[in-house]
Amino acid sequence: MTSEERTLEELLREILRLNYDKPKICDLVNEGILSVQVNKVMKAFENDSEVFPQGNEIKYWNKVNIRNWADSIKGTEITKNPEFLEEMIAVLKRTNFLYCKHNLRITQVLAILLFVSPNEQGRLLQISTGEGKTTICAMLASIKVLQGENVDIITSSPILAKRDAEERESFYKILGISCGSNEGEDYSLSIVDGRNGIQLETNKNCYFKNIVYGNVSEFQFDWLKHEYKKIGTKGNRGFGVVIVDEVDTMIIDDCSRSARLTGELAGFEYLNPVFCGVANELTRLSKRIIWTEENLIYLDGEFKEEGEELILEEEIKCYEINNWYEFISEYLTEFTINIIKKRKIELPDFLRDFCLKSVEEFVKSAIEIDYESTGIVQENETFSDGLHQFLQIKHGLKLTPESVATSFVSNMGYFKKYGAKIYGLTGTIGSKEDQDMLSSIYTVDFGFMPTYKAKKFKELEGIVTSNKNAWIMEVVSNIKQEGERGRAVLVICETIDNVKTIYDILIEVYSTRKIRLYSRNDNDECSAVKERVNSGDVIIATNLAGRGTDIKTSFSVEKNGGLHVIVTFLPSNSRVEKQAFGRTARQGAKGTAQLIINKIYTENKLNTTGIL
């Protein structure tokens, strides 16, 4: 323990302060239970196993000792005895050291104890970014597997799932525990004697392992295929224990999202001309909407742009737009209804009424953007209400017919299948209202963990710029200023286009060799956040970098104030902002963060004016 790290007594006081309204957790502290358990873990670490001795203190065990011990206890009743818990954690402490040469922190031991304390409910813990949540996940998963459970670990993105499974595989191997990721197409065929006779099953091999990492949609689709297509995707694996990393994303922000298996219906290919017509009109319309320094206008007629000046024809009409979304939506709705009713596009009679009833959904799909998924490549997903077709049109792909859902499951419905065996970790658990909502849906309670070191984070006053150009120049100026001070900078953007825009301007005034991009998860840009950042380094990213990313800083960066984070858009809620800001000042390091946003764009996105 370094001088900066909090002592056990200090941490217990912080747990009481943070959980003053959580009587179960307060009782564990006030009755001395947590303190005794931590000391028992440390004592067990200094002694040989009381149940399956290996001839040496646990702190000196090698991989063979650990494997012999794990093979002896796995799935036995002793693992469920509360008196044996401290020895299990002590062995995992030694396993972690052999895996990565790092000792468990007291905060990590405390978190594990809070998760596995006697409780008729699951538990969600708020653990700050940089406090080793991935390690805590692995420890908790190992305990549950040793107790005879299968464990699903759900992460916020497929790239994190694959990364964590690959990185932790050697840790689990020491314990004789198998793990894998459900990303990819690793299948095997098996013949089973079913109710309807001999049948062929297509099993996904990862589900025969003790621990499976994946993002929630992959788990959902595999379950749907197993349950409704009856192809045996999950073999005999049911719903055991689930550990949800970044739990707020899945069960708060995305609780209503669903995974759907779809099928094509005959004749739906006749809708494609409607989608093309709407997309073309949206493109034409967008070219006539101009951002000025003070407002947004629609130009109904011919015009030219020369530099920053507009050359208008005499008969052109100009309309000020108060709300971009409402204007586009109303215009396209009227346009779509018109081309259908006036038969400008020929449709079979059975589709005409369907199309008229679906106009609002089609228009919404044409103009809305899912910013939360920016940069995440979703290879096998199909979207409804015309969204899939509009994406195909945008990217110049062959149009496929609109499809309909044959079976589906929402995030909420899926997580409820785990019952009281839900465990979750996040840096931002949400407000009291969020907690009350979750308690009414799932069998869970909540807790808050302190950091193992005092935070050295400072939030700088946000900047609101008057227009897009001013916004870009403010971001670039801010990057340049912090870089010249010897710091590293992480810039988090809402869209891939914004990443490119800022990059194109920045390279005119900044060294290109110092700039890294991380805008999507399917190319080599992932390496941008894996390598340590040095003084002057800049990472320009989408919100892919805003969650679950640990950016290592050099000594020189820390000496000059640490990593500086710029968020270039207004986050959808305080948890998204906190996660983004949490990329800096991790594990006792220094850091600052700041919002820099475009006033006109933000107010149009919020459908309001004059609030910024």
How far is it, in rounded angstroms, from Cα 319 to Cα 325? Answer: 15
Mean per-residue pLDDT, 191-210: 73
Res 48: pLDDT: 97
3-state secondary structure of 311: strand
pLDDT tens sequence across 366-422: 886 555 555 555 555 667 777 778 778 877 878 888 777 778 898 899 999 999 999
Residue 263 has pLDDT above 80, yes or no: no
Question: Which bin fits 451, alpha (ψ -120 to 50), beta or left (φ > 0)?
Answer: beta
Residue 178 to residues 150, 169, 205, Cα–Cα distance (Å) = 10, 7, 12
Name the pLDDT band for 308 (thresholds 50, 70, 90).
low
Range scoring the smallest mean pLDDT among 86-90, 308-312, 319-323, 582-586: 308-312
Cα 59-65-70 angle, rounded to 5 deg:
105
Match 């206008």 to its residue by tokens: 297
Give Rg (Cα) of the chain: 27
Sheet with 289-291: list strands edge to edge: 289-291, 296-300, 317-321
Res 462: pLDDT: 94
Residue 40 has pLDDT above 80, yes or no: yes
Residues 6+ apart with CB under 8 A from 82: 118
Res 484: pLDDT: 94
First to last CA, the chain: 46
| pLDDT more than 70, % of the chain | 91
Q: Considering only CA atoms, which of 69, 45, 75, 74 is closest in space to residue 58? A: 45
pLDDT tens sequence across 43-98: 999 999 999 999 999 999 999 999 999 999 999 999 999 999 999 999 999 999 99
Residue 440 has pLDDT above 60, yes or no: yes
In sequence order, what are the beta bridge partners of 284?
none
The answer to whether the CB of 216 falls within 8 A of the CB of 154 is yes
Q: Considering only CA atoms, which of 478, 497, 488 is closest in space to residue 554? A: 488
Domain with CATH 3.40.50.300 in the chain: 8-182+420-448, 456-605
Residues 6+ apart with CB under 8 A from 301: 312, 313, 315, 316, 317
Residue 178 has pLDDT above 90, yes or no: yes
Res 182: pLDDT: 92
Q: 456-605 architecture in CATH?
A: 3-Layer(aba) Sandwich (3.40)
Res 156: pLDDT: 81
pLDDT tens sequence across 209-233: 999 999 999 999 999 999 988 888 9
Topology annotation, domain 8-182+420-448: Rossmann fold (3.40.50)
pLDDT tens sequence across 20-39: 999 999 999 999 999 999 99
Residue 291 has pLDDT above 80, yes or no: no
